[in-house]
Amino acid sequence: MKTGKELKDSSIGIRVRALILIGILVILAGCTEVRLPQGPQANPIGSDGLILKMADLPPGSEYHFVFRESIAAILVNTDGKLKAYINTCGKGGFVLLEGDTLNCQGNEATFDPKTGAVLQDSDESPLRIIPIVIKDGAVYVDERQTKSIPPIPTDEPPVPTDEPPVPTDEPPVPTDEPPTPTAQSSPTDTSQSERTSPNPPLSREQMETYPDFATALDPVCAEPLVEEGTCSEGMAFIRQCGGYCIDKYETSKGEDGAAESKEGVRPWINITFYEAKEACETAGKRLCKDFEWMSACNLGGDRYYLTEEEDNETFGCNTNDKCPFPECHIGGERMLWCPERNCPGGTNPKCRSAEGVYDMIGNVLEWTDAQVPSDEWGENVGNSIASILGEDEDKYGQDGFHRHHALTIIGTPFLRGGIHTQSESMSPWAGCFTLHLHRQPTEAEPYAGFRCCSDPE
């Protein structure tokens, strides 16, 4: 029979062994996959945003990872197209790829793996897309675009703490190395700098018809950035929206009515929305989707609108009749919409995007392949983009929403970029975000042109 001391020593030994076992389990958990609450095993991503190699995710498969340290996420490969989503549905449920759909394990909801759209259960919201970028045969979280994703709501209150911050008197460690150049400062950089939007990123399919007015004012593509692509002559490659090509110059009229992109030629105007679409198709291209046009619009990579001083002195975009137009005077009176007031493509070398696309701000308005789906959009006529979206003017300048008051708004095509002159009837200022709804798709005007897009070769 054991004495009291022996029993006490035995009890202590059991407790020590239990603590050692728990410690071993904690260490092993930190070295292996993380199992998030009520979900599948999720793998941590690399410090550089690396999710996994593309070779490790064949078509028809899924991969679970941790987004922002604690959020369950899923990466799916559907017929070679990769998409990442925040993996939550229902009340604490999660989705798994089963056949051709993503199925919620918490209810009967199903989702389209290519877009995140709800296929079944109207009470569910679409899956929230996590922007990714494919580079060197690997898939990464696109940190530049994920900043536009709002924080994920949680029911858990923050953990309170009474501990004050630890003060430090240590000075920063000096270094002789120069700072790493940013996208804004690097003279050799040919991509756009970071631009955040109050709207969540959406896939191309989701933006075929804009879901709401706010999205139309500042759309953001969720497709991964593509590092490089080959375009035909007269076109520039754009990395956003999965990669596509856009005309460098506002489209001019070629032989047999085909659309061309040529330097030194005036834009093709007096053309309807439907005719512009046909002209691009005749050239083996397409009229640019509105979100494609918006993704390509910038000045030097970090500006999206102009003040009057920047217009005149810095970029020289044609928003104040910069091109000579002696032919525009009849009997001493100036004609407001004279074709000769439109500058030939490339006339203003500074009015150029980081990717080499000219005159997206000013010169002529440009048809884009988008039409208004709702009469409610007309309620914001004349307002600035900043006020409509509740954002600071420093982000959108004087860009605004303008339409003809007598126009039936449903089905009206978009006109982007602003025009070669500023007047009360054509305000607000020219800029990437300015949206004009002036004409029905069967009407043509001397101030409206277009630009074509295509897939890379």
pLDDT for residue 39 is more than 70:
no
Domain made up of 235-454: CATH architecture: Alpha-Beta Complex (3.90)
Note the pTM of the prediction, 2 decimals: 0.60
The predicted model gives 350-371 an average pLDDT of 92
pLDDT for residue 310 is more than 60:
yes
pLDDT one-digit tens code per residue, 412-424: 999 999 887 654 4
What's residue 72's pLDDT?
87
Cα–Cα distance between 343 and 361 in angstroms, integer?
12
pLDDT one-digit tens code per residue, 223-240: 988 988 999 999 999 999
Cα–Cα distance between 263 and 257 in angstroms, integer?
18
What's residue 302's pLDDT?
78
Residue 13 pLDDT grade (very low, low, confident, very high; cuts 50, 70, 90): low
The CATH code for residues 41-146 is 2.102.10.10
Is the model more confident about 16 or about 54? 54
With CA atoms as reference, report the closest residue to 455 among 249, 237, 179.
237
Cα–Cα distance between 371 and 163 in angstroms, integer?
56
What's residue 443's pLDDT?
92
pLDDT for residue 257 is more than 80:
no
Tally the residues of the chain. Answer: 457
pLDDT for residue 434 is more than 70:
yes
Which of 261-265, 297-301, 320-324 has the least mean pLDDT?
320-324
The predicted model gives 105-126 an average pLDDT of 80
pLDDT for residue 19 is more than 90:
no
The predicted model gives 308-323 an average pLDDT of 68
With CA atoms as reference, report the closest residue to 316 among 329, 302, 299, 333.
299
pLDDT one-digit tens code per residue, 238-251: 999 999 999 999 99
Within 12-142, strands assigned E span 34-35, 41-42, 50-53, 61-67, 71-78, 81-86, 95-98, 101-104, 110-111, 118-120, 132-135, 138-141
With CA atoms as reference, report the closest residue to 314 among 323, 306, 326.
306
Residue 20 pLDDT grade (very low, low, confident, very high; cuts 50, 70, 90): low
- 102 three-class SS: strand
What's residue 240's pLDDT?
93
pLDDT for residue 43 is more than 50:
yes
What's residue 449's pLDDT?
94
Q: Give percent of the chain with pLDDT exceeding 70.
A: 68
pLDDT for residue 185 is more than 60:
no
What's residue 323's pLDDT?
59
Burial of residue 169, with CB atoms counted within 10 A of its CB: 0-12 exposed, 13-18 middle, 19 or more buried:
exposed
What's residue 173's pLDDT?
45
Enumerate the domain spans of the chain: 41-146, 235-454
pLDDT one-digit tens code per residue, 397-413: 778 777 765 566 788 99
Is the model more confident about 216 or about 162? 216
Q: What is the mean pLDDT of the chain?
A: 76
Is the model more confident about 346 or about 39? 346
What's residue 8's pLDDT?
45
The predicted model gives 300-320 an average pLDDT of 74
What's residue 365's pLDDT?
92
Q: Which of 51-55, 75-79, 211-215, 240-244 has the highest mean pLDDT?
A: 240-244
Q: Is residue 40 reached through a cis peptide bond, with omega within 30 degrees of 0 on the bond before it? A: no
What's residue 366's pLDDT?
96
What's residue 290's pLDDT?
97
Q: Which of 37-51, 55-69, 184-198, 301-315 has the highest mean pLDDT?
A: 55-69
Residue 293 pLDDT grade (very low, low, confident, very high; cuts 50, 70, 90): very high
Burial of residue 312, with CB atoms counted within 10 A of its CB: 0-12 exposed, 13-18 middle, 19 or more buried:
middle
Cα–Cα distance between 345 and 267 in angstroms, integer?
7
**Cβ partners under 8 Å of residue 196, min gap 6:** 147, 148
pLDDT for residue 331 is more than 50:
no
What's residue 105's pLDDT?
84
Is the model more confident about 396 or about 413? 413
pLDDT one-digit tens code per residue, 64-113: 999 888 888 999 988 877 888 888 876 667 888 888 899 888 788 888 88
What's residue 356's pLDDT?
94
pLDDT for residue 174 is more than 80:
no
Six token digits for residue 11:
């009890």
